[in-house]
């Protein structure tokens, strides 16, 4: 549960001090806990995801700049394919584009049932970040 997720995130924080901002990490840990035998196995899986350093293959945003880039990319796609909704969201909230789309992952994945979220994670681990866009 929540306690196990907190312990794993704390261990990740001490193991990867160069990660300055990773808002998707607790959700990733919680989802991987469902498919791990124990907390140690989950920590290993998360560590492998974070340590992936193949060129052009980033799995989780690890800095605020990368996170900001993801939000802006989602905003650009919304503007391109749903222009009227994008303009309405930005105008109605009175915020800049980054603020409006800062919760885009929660919008897309927040209410997915566990089997669907597991399938998205499976494809994400195989294909990489590009499937989210």
pTM of the model: 0.82
What letter does residue 59 receive in the DSSP assignment?
Answer: -
| pLDDT tens digits, one per residue of 40-60 | 999 999 999 999 877 777 788
- Confidence at residue 110, expressed as pLDDT on a 0 to 100 scale: 84
- Residues near 9 by beta carbon (within 8 Å), at least 6 away in sequence: 25, 26, 29
> Tokens in use for 43?
């920590």
Contact status, residue 49 vs residue 59, Cβ threshold 8 Å: yes
Long-range contacts of 48-52 (CB under 8 A, 24+ apart): 49/125, 50/12, 50/16, 50/19, 50/22, 51/16
| pLDDT tens digits, one per residue of 81-102 | 999 998 998 888 888 888 888 8
- Confidence at residue 106, expressed as pLDDT on a 0 to 100 scale: 85
Contact status, residue 58 vs residue 128, Cβ threshold 8 Å: yes
């Amino acid at each position: 549960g929540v306690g196990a997720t907190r312990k794993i995130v704390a261990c990740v924080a001490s193991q990867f001090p160069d990660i300055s901002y990773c808002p998707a990490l607790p959700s990733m840990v919680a989802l991987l806990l469902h498919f791990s035998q124990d907390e140690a196995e989950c920590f290993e899986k998360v560590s492998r995801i974070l340590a992936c350093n193949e060129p052009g293959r980033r799995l989780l945003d690890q800095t605020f700049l990368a996170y900001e880039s993801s939000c802006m990319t989602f905003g650009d796609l919304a503007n391109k394919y749903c222009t009227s909704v994008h303009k309405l969201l930005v105008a109605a909230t009175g915020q800049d584009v980054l603020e409006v789309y800062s919760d885009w992952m929660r919008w897309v994945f927040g209410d997915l049932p566990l089997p669907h979220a597991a399938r998205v994670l499976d494809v994400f681990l195989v294909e990489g970040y590009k499937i989210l866009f």
